[in-house]
Chains A and B, each alone.
Chain A
């Protein structure tokens, strides 16, 4: 197939969300692809979705050939996704070829034969719906029906070649016994398919993690490695391509207010419109308050905002906001705000991501807040969490939405958490909220760790929280090591000398 490298093979966009992105445009057209996976990995669903999406998005007819499950079962199984295959059969968009063995029937073999009968039936079905797509579900089930595996392999090869000549793109599903090792049981892939896709369903830290890998696309460029996917009632399979998302860096210089005037000042006049801001701090340092200010600023600017709550209920969030004089409920009524509270444990991270993406695409907010992001850490493996964070923040950036996400640090004083290390590269601004033990008192300090593309104050500033919210005061002077959690003090004289050296105006050290 070396000649195929010289020209680009035409693609057939599948319409399966995320899939075409991962395989650079779709399945190679008029070729056959094997989708292999263990029981319950989603092979049949993917094949059915390939067919259904073909009709739905491209008005391409399809044929399904089933070797194992009865057509009635297959149709029933995908009904829960809202796919009415019966209706599409009536409308002559989809045709069925039932190739399941009758129960109790055993074929007596008395002489030479081939599977031309099956081929003729598929061809007839394809003609009747002007098909562009064919799925052969569970080809492995064909083998036990006949004593000669070689013959079945050869015949499958002939069928695949015959269907290609009719300009049909073929998806065959095949069961694997385990996640690693050989692709299928009968060596079909060696003969039949130009393209092999593997679906996996692994248990990782007590969570199911579904992945898809394009093992080979003959003569075609595709993304390497495994991609997470999820199955849900609305879209069926959605693949969440991670590295396929292009990283678009902030290009705007429009600023938005954080809702705290002093903080805007420290950042040189507010946050960039399409930036991701991470607020990191221990419990009780005022992260949710910062979020509340930020949402309030959005409401006052007449911008739409979504607040994703993962630790507190909507009642708690609105009550807290009310105690700071901010009316979340009113803003929800006027359609500026949507509060969405989902506890991280209720579903997998892939599903959370899918839901959040849907909420964002549906509500089209200018700002999004996630309080807190770190609560999701325990809802999946380290790796899925990392993918979750990166994919979510990339989505926000892609849509040019300002994102404020909070991270709860495990230690009261100092410290860093996984969230910080995962997303520090993708965030544009990191704001640390820290407890500071000073002269036997717990006080709070705020620092801007980084802010991309602009000057910002490097001071660690003290802040107070009262009934009106957060107030940022002056910088701590004469103390080192606040961020590490072990502050040390300088002698007053030295301190004064130093501050004289660097600041012109005298500083008041006590508020």
Chain B
């Protein structure tokens, strides 16, 4: 199962940088080899933000697997991010598909 993720940020603020770093760590440790991340700067690409109805930044959008999920914040609360992405740390690998 591939995780297709979009991270919406606004410029290179401290929130943005922290979110990028936190997401990188989570993906590397939990989703290695099965994720795609697209980083979208709302300031440069507001139309995509309209499409996803982004209000808060940073916002992480899980496009796949469905349903679409949104996680708001700089992703420093790792537990909540994992919960939001439906990744269960205790399980070795989500084999049920």
Interface string of A157-169 (1 = CB under 8 A from B): 0000000000000
A108 x B84 contact (CB < 8 A): yes
B76 x A112 contact (CB < 8 A): yes
Give Cα A123–Cα B43 distance, bound, in whole angstroms: 9
Partner of B73, one of A112, A115, A123: A112
Interface string of A109-129 (1 = CB under 8 A from B): 111111111111101110000
Is A362 part of the binding interface, using a Cβ–Cβ cutoff of 8 Å?
no
Is B27 part of the binding interface, using a Cβ–Cβ cutoff of 8 Å?
no
A residues within 8 A CB of B58? 113
B residues within 8 A CB of A111? 18-19, 22, 73-77
A108 x B56 contact (CB < 8 A): no
B50 x A121 contact (CB < 8 A): yes
Is B71 part of the binding interface, using a Cβ–Cβ cutoff of 8 Å?
yes
B46 x A110 contact (CB < 8 A): no
Partner of B15, one of A99, A110, A112: A112
Known: A107-B70, A146-B56. A117 touches B50 (CB 8 A): no
Give Cα A174–Cα B11 distance, bound, in whole angstroms: 31
B73 x A109 contact (CB < 8 A): yes
Interface of A, helix, strand, loop or mixed by DSSP: mixed
Chain A's nearest CB lies how many Å from the CB of B20? Answer: 12
A residues within 8 A CB of B73? 109-113
How many residues from B make CB contacts under 8 Å with A?
A: 35
Interface members, chain A 81-107 (any B CB < 8 Å): 97-100, 102, 105, 107
Partner of A110, one of B10, B13, B50, B84: B84
Interface string of B62-86 (1 = CB under 8 A from A): 0000000111111111101101100
Most buried by A among B13, B22, B46, B75: B46
Known: A100-B53, A108-B84, A112-B15. A117 touches B76 (CB 8 A): no
Closest chain B residue, CB of each to CB of A67: B55
Give Cα A204–Cα B51 distance, bound, in whole angstroms: 46
B residues within 8 A CB of A123? 46
B residues within 8 A CB of A120? 10, 42-43, 46, 49, 57
A113 x B74 contact (CB < 8 A): yes
Is B54 part of the binding interface, using a Cβ–Cβ cutoff of 8 Å?
yes
A residues within 8 A CB of B15? 112-114
Give Cα A199–Cα B83 distance, bound, in whole angstroms: 44
Closest chain A residue, CB of each to CB of B11: A116
B57 x A108 contact (CB < 8 A): no
A118 x B54 contact (CB < 8 A): yes
B50 x A98 contact (CB < 8 A): yes
Known: A110-B84, A121-B49, A121-B50. A99 touches B55 (CB 8 A): yes
Closest chain A residue, CB of each to CB of B80: A110
Interface string of B23-58 (1 = CB under 8 A from A): 000000000000000000011001101100111111
Known: A99-B53, A108-B83. A117 touches B70 (CB 8 A): no
A117 x B59 contact (CB < 8 A): yes
Q: List 24 A-B contacts (CB under 8 A).
A: A99-B55, A102-B53, A108-B71, A109-B77, A110-B71, A110-B75, A110-B76, A111-B73, A111-B77, A112-B15, A112-B18, A112-B74, A113-B15, A113-B58, A113-B73, A117-B10, A117-B59, A118-B56, A120-B43, A120-B57, A121-B46, A124-B50, A142-B55, A146-B56
List the interface of chain A (C-beta within 8 A of B). 97-100, 102, 105, 107-121, 123-125, 142, 145-146
Query: Given known contacts A100-B53, A110-B72, what 10 new A-B pairs fall within 8 Å (CB)?
Result: A105-B70, A108-B83, A110-B71, A110-B75, A110-B76, A111-B73, A114-B15, A117-B49, A124-B47, A142-B55
